[in-house]
Amino acid sequence: MSTWEATGVGSHPGEDHLEAIRVVFGEVPGLPYLPELPARGVGADMIGRTAGLLVDLPVEVQPSGWRLADRPGRDHQRAVDHLRRDLDGLEEVGHDYSGPLKLQVCGPWTLAGAIELKHGDKMLSDAGAVRDLIASLAQGVADHCADVRRRLPGVTEIVLQLDEPGLPGVLAGTVPTASGFGRLAAVEEWRVEESMRSFDAPIVHCCAPSVPFDVLRRAGVRGVSVDAALLRRRDEDSVGEAVEAGLQLLLGVVPGRDTRLPDHGVVAKPALDLWRRLGFAPDRLAGQVVLTPACGLAGASPAYARAALAACRKAAQVLREDPEAG
């Protein structure tokens, strides 16, 4: 099991990427990550940033959002430039780092529900386009990971996180068409399971209700990242089966926006309570549960972002020191 203890979901406030990277390495040294700063604009947002990784599928921004393009243009280049600056900063701050590193990209189903075809609906409406997208993203992510390994030779493993807030809607058939007047057909579970196997043992983050734990478990993902406040008692059988199968559970226990943070014992309580209800041995808790903010921190203040990560790290020590407390 991991010794990650705590980490962040991905996004940070502001436009100072070097400072954000320093905060990450300082506050969650067990599993630091490359932060994303969407406040910088086009190409720094979740969709545009990941679209910039796609191989042979250039995109551009239209009034309706991101759309496939005939050739790489200004919007694509902005995304590439943002990521290159971030990787330069990562190399500067983490040049002597040794340990695991987490990289986040938008998952293929949320991406397919957000990018439009050149002349038509969203990519999600076309099974062939989705297959092309998955293959392109898998190759782009593999290239991205290889670049990070070259830049940071001390990284012992790359932990890939696929951000899939749109996945429950994809499976339920509630994703709106490009016009907004209809809904795209639900995607079969086996297609989602198959798609996840195109990536190297990913963690799937979903901060929406109705996280499809059973689908992700069958897909063989490494872990699932969720907002603890959105888990319902009816989810717990599926959570338990995922834990029993050895999946990591990244549990969001502090809000993503500014608030008064409680004592770290209180922050740890959702994880302790869930584990007790699931009935697993206390000594497994710290090795299988990783504490995070509930979602990204882009809407927080820089001071709160730092404090939220520190709160997760301190609460994780409660799990490690006394898993039967609380």
Residue 2 lies in a domain: no
Q: Give the pLDDT of residue 216.
A: 98
Residues 127 and 105 in one domain: yes
Mean pLDDT, 10 residues at a time, over the chain (326 residues)?
Answer: 85 97 97 97 94 96 93 95 97 96 98 94 97 98 98 97 98 94 96 97 95 97 96 92 96 96 94 94 92 97 98 94 58
Residues 245 and 214 in one domain: no
How many domains, the chain? 2
Residue whose entry in the numeric block shows the structure tokens 């919007």: 75
Residues 125 and 269 in one domain: no
Residue 35 lies in a domain: no
Q: Give the pLDDT of residue 325.
A: 47
Instruction: Give me the helix-helix angle, 127-151 and 74-93, nearest 10°.
Output: 30
Domain final residue, candidates 221, 251, 272:
221
**DSSP, residue by residue, 28-88:** -TTS-B--B-GGG-TTTSHHHHHHTT-SS--EEEETTEEEE-SS--HHHHHHHHHHHHHHH
Q: Give the pLDDT of residue 120.
A: 85
Range of the domain at 112: 41-201+209-221
Q: Give the pLDDT of residue 323.
A: 54
Residues 94 and 46 in one domain: yes
Q: Give the pLDDT of residue 324.
A: 57
Instruction: Compute how many other C-beta atoms are within 10 angstroms of the C-beta atom of residue 142.
Output: 16
Measured CA to CA, the distance from residue 193 to residue 170 in angstroms comes to 13
User: Residue 106: helix, strand or coil by DSSP?
Assistant: strand
Q: Give the pLDDT of residue 32.
A: 98
Residue 22 lies in a domain: no
Q: Give the pLDDT of residue 233.
A: 87
Q: Give the pLDDT of residue 322.
A: 62
Instruction: Compute how many other C-beta atoms are within 10 angstroms of the C-beta atom of residue 105.
Output: 24
Residues 260 and 138 in one domain: no
Residues 114 and 260 in one domain: no
Tokens of 182: 């209809």
Q: Give the pLDDT of residue 11.
A: 97
Determine contact, residues 176/124, Cβ cutoff 8 Å. Answer: no
Residues 63 and 173 in one domain: yes
Residue 233 lies in a domain: yes
Residues 154 and 253 in one domain: no
Helix residue ranges per DSSP H, 116-163: 127-151
Q: Give the pLDDT of residue 320.
A: 87
Domain final residue, candidates 164, 192, 221:
221
3-state secondary structure 160-219: EEEECCCHHHHHHCCCECCCCCCECCCCCHHHHHHHHCCCCCCEEEECCCCCCHHHHHHH
Residue 293 lies in a domain: yes
Residues 66 and 178 in one domain: yes
Residue 33 lies in a domain: no
Residues 70 and 184 in one domain: yes
Residue 131 lies in a domain: yes
Tokens of 171: 């499976």
Q: Give the pLDDT of residue 288.
A: 94
Residue 313 lies in a domain: yes
C-alpha separations of 15 from 27, 85, 248, 252, 310 in Å: 19, 12, 31, 24, 21
- Looking from the CA of 173 toward its CB, the CA atoms found within 13 Å total 5
Residues 176 and 144 in one domain: yes
Residue whose entry in the numeric block shows the structure tokens 């990560």: 309
Residues 216 and 257 in one domain: no
Measured CA to CA, the distance from residue 236 to residue 238 in angstroms comes to 5
Domain final residue, candidates 156, 188, 221:
221
